[in-house]
Structure formats: C-alpha cells, structure tokens
A and B are shown apart, each in its own frame.
Chain A
Amino acid sequence: MEIDEVIAFLGQHAPFDALSVDVINALARRIEVRYFPREAMIIDAGKENHALGIVRSGAVELRLGGTELNHRLGEGGVFGYPSLLHHERTRNQVIAHEDSLIYQLPKPDFLALLDSHETLRGFFAKDEAERLRLAVEGLRRSETGHGEAAMIGVKLGSLMRRNEVVTAGPGDSISDAAKLMARADVSTLPLTEKGGLVGIITDKDLRRRVLGQDVPLDKPVSRVMTPDPITMSLDDDLLSAMLVMSQHNIHHLPIVNESDEIVGVVSSSDLLNRFGMNALQVVAEIKAAGDAAAVARAARRVDGVLAHLIESGVDADHVARFVSNIGEATHRQLLKLGEEQLGPPPVPYALVVFGSLARQEQAGGSDQDNGFILDDSYDAQTHGAYFERLATFLCDGLNSAGYIYCPGDIMATNDKWRQPLAVWKERYRGWIDNPDPENVLNTTIFFDMRRVAGEEILVDSLREHIFAWSSANRIFLSFIARAAAHTKVPLGFFRNFLLQHDEKEGDVLDLKHQAIAPVVDIARVYALALGLSEVNSEERLKKAAELGEISDEAVSDIVDSFEFIRSVRFRHQSGQIKRGEAPTNNLSPALLSRFEREHLKDAFRVIRDHMDIVSRKYAGNIQ
C-alpha cells in the first residue's frame, strides 16, 4: 500500500526526489504530520530535537541562535537537521511564519536514511553550510555564535597538532637549527627571543638561502631567517588564515597566544588537507609559472576554485577575495615575466587595477581594467616603446588567462591609461572639478583603484590628491550620489520585476548592475566624501560607520544584504561552471528558489532605503 499524496510530495522536493519510489514509500510511512498555526514554536532553541522537519504547506522562519538573522523556508523546505546530525541541542528556533502543515521524520529514521544514502548525506551537509553562509557575517562577528558548518568559525586552535612547539634562538647556528628541525621532524622552526617570536625559518629557506647561496653553516640563523613573520592568533579562523597565505604566498603561519608567545605553526598543507581546497595551489602555480601560457593555464582554473569554494560552504566575501587574489597574482606574475623579457623598467611605474579587482570583489567572468602610472621623469620618446610593449604583454596575457580585454578599453595598452603621474592627476582633477552626469557614470570605476605591482608612492600620491579634491567638492559628491541613486534596484521583485533584456539569455535579473553595483556605489560615495583609503566596499562602509557617518546597524544591514546577493551570484556561477558554461551575472528569476526570492526582496529593500539616505545626504542641493 502506498500513501500517494505523501509520496508525490516527497518525490517533488529535494533531496527526496533523488530517492527511488520504494525508498520514498518506506520513508512516507515513518512520517508524522503536525499542524502549527502562525507564530507557533516548532523547535525551540537549546532543546533536544527529535525530528527532521519538512514544510508540507505554509512557511516557517528559522531564527539563528544569538543573532537577528532569520531565514524563511516555504513548501518543501527542510529544517532541524544540524542538531540531529551532530547529536546536540538545537541552536536555532523554528517558528511557523504562516499556518503550516509540517511533516516530521523521527530522528532514528532520519539517521538510518542518511546511513544508506550518500546523496542525502551530501545534501544535508551542504545545505546546512549554505544556510550558515547566509548568516555568516552576523555569526562571525557575534562573540558567542559560531557556525555549525565545518569551515566557518573553525578556529586555528583546533588545527594545531603539536602541543609542544620546537623553537630555537636567532643566535643559534644554522647548523644547529637544521639539526633540530631534522630531529623534531618539523619543516618550520620559529625563532624566539625572551619568549617573543622574532623570526621563522623553513625547509625551503635552508635550501634557497643557505645551500643555494653557500652561506656557512656556523653563521647565526638570524642571517637567513624571515624576520617578524606574519602571525595569527588561536582565535582567528581558518578562512582568514588561508586568505593571508594566498595574499602573501606563504605556506606557514606561526600562531601566537594573547601574550604573543608562539604556540604552534599552521601550514598550508594542514589547511589543504582539511578542506581539499585548491585556491592556494592555484596562486602558487601562477607564481611559479615560467611563461605567459603557463600563467594562463593556472589562472583559468579560477572557475574550478570558485565552484569548489562555493560547494565547501565558503561565504561570498571570502570567495570574492580568493578569486581576487588569483586575479592579482595573475597580473603580478605576467608583469614580472614581461619585465624579465623586456628588461628592467627605464623609469619607476605602478600597475593599478580598477573596479571589482581593486575592491577585491571579483567574481567569475570578469574583464580586465588596468593602467600604468608612470613616474614623472617619463619621456615618451625614450621610454614610450618599453611601456607599450610591457602593457601589450600584460593585457594579452590577461586575455589568454580569461580576463578578457576591457570593452571600454580601460587598459594599459590604451595610451590614455599609460601616463605619467602628473597626467593622471590632471585627469582626476578634471573629473572632480567639472563633473557632468555622463562623465560621472563613466568615471566612477576609476575611484575604485588599487596598486597591484610597482611603485607604491606613485599610487599613494595620486590617491591623496583625489581624496583631498573629492571630499572638498560637494558638487562632485552630489553628482556621484545622484549617479548612485540612479541605479534601478529591482524592488518590485515579484510583481513588476525590472528585468534587463539580454540578447542571449532573454529577460534576466542582472545581479551585477542591478543588485551589486548599488551597494558598491553607496560605499564609494562614503569613501569619496570621507576621503577613505579603503577600496573594498565592506571595509569602506565599516570605516564610514567608525567615523560616525552611518550607523552600525545600517552598515550591518547593507553588508548582510551584499553578502546575500553575492552568494546568490556565486551559487549561480558555480552552477554554470559545473554545467560547463561561462559564468555570467544574469539570472533568470525562474531559477531562484522561493527562499532566495524572499531574501532578495528584503536585500533590495535595504539597499533602496540606503540609496535614498545617501541621496538625501549628498545629492540634496542640485536636484
């Protein structure tokens, strides 16, 4: 005998739709049906949980423990499994958001089902992380809350394998240090003085800096150590550690306690073993590439990294930073190879990037936006050819690596964006002093600028001028603010959905221009008004809050919305990548789950409200 209606329902909803009819039928017979009127408590936090919940009709709201974050689940949504999986008390409250009919699968039946079906195990492990990712900003910041997922909130402390750290002194001989490392079977030796960490030496240093350069073994190890290495604390999380490693291309991080005493070393392989993640490997491969083709080969793996990170439950902000790190490494390595081929630069210069890479918010399918800032001693006659060839090498290399030529020709190959500092200054000065609406829309990208390689001082000098001019020029600010307020946030998401028409994809939601750009714009207005050196949107907003220009609540609302929108985009892109398609920013609304639609609506409302605030604040007097 079959319970037709229940079977039909389960058969239509993930993850049960992957099960055979026989299994679904058996499953249906284990279910208990309960009814919860609106606002009734379905699961209370901190209690034993006895069953997996499945929304048969109605909707429920998950209130994540210790935060203000809510998640809504509609028909077919499943909840209550983290506590079942981990045999712990519930952390989240589940409340009926509407009158709801709930199917409950008792814990023993749920666990038995997982035992025999690997696909279900994958679903519940992933879906859990997915939900947490949505709340990750809140969780990461709240002192008590830490995520239930494997990645997020895992402290470095939990990775430390050795209780006793082997250390040596900076005055010890290289020979003694090497013997100590061999005896203790460590690849990294922290060097301490009076309990404080002063340096670090690794296997690789011994090879490169000692044997490779014939340094006598009786010299003090301080001569070949890396002084004042970057350290992290036991309370830092794994993602931050990976990010630091990929940013600086280092493979070992000494971990120190509150009193700055070394308590251990975490290596990149510890992290890789734990997560099988290849972001670090891709960066390392790019840095080891001997020619542009090898750079391209490695850099093209960024799509795979993105999909993998998303699947591992990494939040959008971190994914964007990893993707950006790979982009940056690609730029640097190409430039390095170019210089090797063409010889050292005749005058100092800097490579700057604009837009999402500058903000470290890069996603899949990005084009390139870059320029050279040349020292004012530059002379077009004598030096012009060199930089033109270098720019061509760089931009061609980037194009082969998947960062396609900029459609707006914002590239160092364009004479216009390969200029001495003085010319750059004039140009920015012109944009700021003589703003007109068209100009403003076309030039905002230049106000998200970051140095990727070359002389820091050139870029710093330019930036200082920009900020001094922009923050003093209210008219310019009002133009920027008005341009920001101009973006159409698709607020009437369900009814009068403002869809962009895309030739290839039909009517779609353009996540980049309709949802992400507004937040970037808001952050940029604050950065220009306050003269902030931050380029990353989230960092800009936080800095603005620190300076009292915007409330902490407002920032955390915007940041959460930003995170959610970007996570939708990354999930969308990860799906495209897995289907073998090129990642885009265009999303058909039909592909959105009800849950995503509801939250996008909330996110758009938050953004729209803040666009109005920015508009009132800065765009006021020239309407």
Chain B
Amino acid sequence: MKLGWQNWFQEKRFAAHWDRAKEAAQSTPMADYYSAPVQADQLLNDAPLIALDFESDGLEEDAQLLEAGWVAVEGGAVKLNSARRLRIRAESRLQGSAVIIHRITDDAAAEGQSEQDVLLALLADLKGAAILAHAAFIEQSFLNAACLRCFGVPFVGRFICTMQLEERWFPRERTADGLRLGKLRAQYGLPYYRAHDGLTDAMACAELFLVQCARRRTENLLLEDVLMRG
C-alpha cells in the first residue's frame, strides 16, 4: 500500500498518545474508556462508530459546550435506538450570535446536565468505538478540552472526518463553502435537515458517511482506510 509507511507512523504516534492518556486516566472516571482500544485494521463494517456533534457558543478550545448529540453506526446502518441528545448546563452567559444559530436559549441551556455528567454518558458510548464527525478536528479538540477540564485527562480516540474523506476520495473544484455538511448532503440528494441541533447534525453526518462509503465502491474497507489523517 502506498500510504503504508504513513499509516505505520500514525499508528505509532496514536499508540504513544493513547498509552500516555491511559496512564493519566488511572483511577479517574475515564479509566473505563481507556480499557477498550479500537483496532485500526478491523473491517469498517465490524467497527462500532459513533457519529458525534457538539453545539457550542464558539469554536475556540475554551468555548462553552451547549449540547452533545450522537448516534451509533453499525454495519452500514444508522441505529436510531442509540440516538442521544444531551443539553449541557451553561456556566456562563451565552454569546449572542451562537444562540441564534443553535436555537438554544439561556433558559433551555439551563435545563441541561452538568458537563461532567454529559461527558460520562458520552464516554460510555464512545468506549471501543471510532468517532464520526464532519470537521472532526473540532469535536476532537472540544472533547479533549472538556475531558481535561472535568477529569484532568486528555482525550485520545479514533476519528473519522467526513469533510476530509470527501476531499480525499472525491477531490474536485469547489466553492468556498462547498465542503459544508448541508452542501454535500444536497449534492448527494440526501434530505434537507433544519440542522443545528447536535443530534440532527450527528445523524446528517452519519448518513453522509454511508453515501461516501457506497460511492467509494470498495469491498471490505478497513477502519484505517477512513480514519482522519494528519
């Protein structure tokens, strides 16, 4: 395989990060999450995936998380019985513009659970699973920041980024916003979603991923073939 050395290098780096985080997680609530590593060389169809989306009041690492939505993808199917959408209680006043985009008001956010409780519920589902997101580096950085905040432990996991996958598998000239989730879905004839609640976005991303895998027309894809790179 052409990218063999790259995969190998990435695996080495991932293993090092994982081991370090696992070490740090000992006797913290995250220890359980680190007890189940996800093998990159398993068949994609066999690999448990969780499509995840956070709603937040900003994109910086210290942004306030408002909501987490996630749903499992197994064997090429989005399993709605696993769908979760949890509101996170706001610690500080929301920033105005984010409120409008996400349709989450101070009042609604106040009804949520603590960030720690939401993270624990999420981590339980993420255990042993790879994480699927559109622009996954954002979810990655949010998760890492939140875990450090709540448990003092970094978050290390396997990520699949549907935005990166689109560029990698189906490169073409695009407009500036051509890789946005809504645009890509429309391009593939997927239904229009009102969007911008965590669960709807997670589902939207999961469905896009099903389309990408079907269009790739490759039998027996491995998890490592779709993992986020770089």
Residues of A within 8 A of B (CB): 1, 3-6, 9, 28-37, 40, 56-58, 98-99, 101, 104
Contacts and interface: CB of A to CB of B under 8 A. Distances in A.
Given A5-B194, A34-B76, 5 more contacts: A32-B79, A33-B77, A34-B78, A98-B189, A104-B77
Contacts of B197: 4
25 contacts: A3-B199, A4-B194, A4-B200, A5-B193, A5-B194, A5-B200, A28-B80, A29-B83, A30-B81, A31-B80, A32-B78, A32-B79, A32-B80, A33-B77, A33-B78, A33-B80, A33-B203, A34-B77, A34-B78, A36-B214, A37-B214, A37-B215, A99-B189, A99-B211, A101-B207
A33 B210 CA distance: 9
Given A5-B194, A57-B190, A33 B207 contact: yes
B199 A1 contact: yes
A104 B80 CA distance: 10
Contacts of A32: 77-80
A29 B203 contact: no
Interface string B79-91: 1110111000000
Nearest to A36: B214
Interface string B182-197: 0000001111011001
B50 interface: no
Q: Which 3 A-B pairs have the closest CB atoms?
A: A33-B78, A35-B210, A32-B77
Contacts, number: 63
Contact of A5 (B77, B188, B203, B210): B203
Given A29-B80, A35-B214, A101 B203 contact: no
B206 interface: yes
A1 B112 CA distance: 12
Nearest to A8: B194
Contacts of A3: 80, 83, 199, 203
Main secondary structure of the interface of A (DSSP, over half): mixed
A200 B215 CA distance: 69
B207 A35 contact: yes
Nearest to A106: B81
Contacts of A4: 194, 197, 199-200
Contacts of B84: 1
Contacts of B79: 32
Residues of B contacting A: mostly: mixed
A33 B85 CA distance: 18
Contact of A57 (B77, B85, B191): B191
Contact of A6 (B77, B80, B189, B214): B80
Contacts of B190: 57, 101
Interface residues of B, number: 25
B79 to A, nearest CB: 6
Contacts of B189: 57-58, 98-99
A56 B193 CA distance: 12
A6 B85 CA distance: 14
B193 to A, nearest CB: 5
A222 to B, nearest CB: 72
A257 B80 CA distance: 55
Nearest to B76: A34
Interface in B45-90: 76-81, 83-85
Contacts of A40: 214
Interface of B: 76-81, 83-85, 188-191, 193-194, 197, 199-200, 203, 206-207, 210-211, 214-215
A54 to B, nearest CB: 12
A542 to B, nearest CB: 43
B72 to A, nearest CB: 10
Nearest to A1: B85
Of A9, A33, A58, A98, most buried by chain B (CB within 10 Å of CB) is A33
Given A1-B199, A4-B200, A6-B80, A33 B206 contact: yes
Nearest to B191: A57
Nearest to B69: A1
Contact of A34 (B194, B200, B210, B215): B210
A27 to B, nearest CB: 10
B188 A99 contact: yes
A520 to B, nearest CB: 41
Nearest to B204: A5
Nearest to B203: A5
A537 B160 CA distance: 63
A99 B213 CA distance: 13
Q: Which of B81, B85, B206 has the most CB of A within 10 A?
A: B81
B80 A30 contact: yes
A9 B214 CA distance: 24
Nearest to B215: A37
A56 B80 contact: no
Nearest to A35: B210
A36 B210 CA distance: 9
Contacts of A30: 80-81
Contacts of B85: 1
A33 B199 CA distance: 14
Contacts of A104: 77
Nearest to B80: A31
A14 to B, nearest CB: 18
Contacts of B199: 1, 3-4
Contacts of A58: 189
A56 B83 contact: no
Nearest to A102: B77
A29 B207 contact: no
Contacts of B200: 4-5
B191 A56 contact: yes
A435 B223 CA distance: 78
A3 B83 CA distance: 8
A1 B83 CA distance: 9
A104 B210 CA distance: 15
A101 B80 CA distance: 14
Most chain B beta-carbon neighbours within 10 Å: one of A1, A5, A34, A57: A5
Contacts of A5: 191, 193-194, 200, 203
A32 B77 CA distance: 6
A28 B200 CA distance: 13
Contacts of B207: 33, 35, 101
Contacts of A33: 77-78, 80, 203, 206-207, 210
Contacts of A56: 191
A267 B58 CA distance: 78
A569 B191 CA distance: 33
Nearest to B213: A35
A30 B82 CA distance: 9
A30 B207 CA distance: 17
Contacts of A101: 190-191, 207
Contacts of A9: 191
Nearest to A9: B191
A36 B211 CA distance: 8
A395 to B, nearest CB: 58
A32 B85 CA distance: 17
A6 B71 CA distance: 13
A506 to B, nearest CB: 31
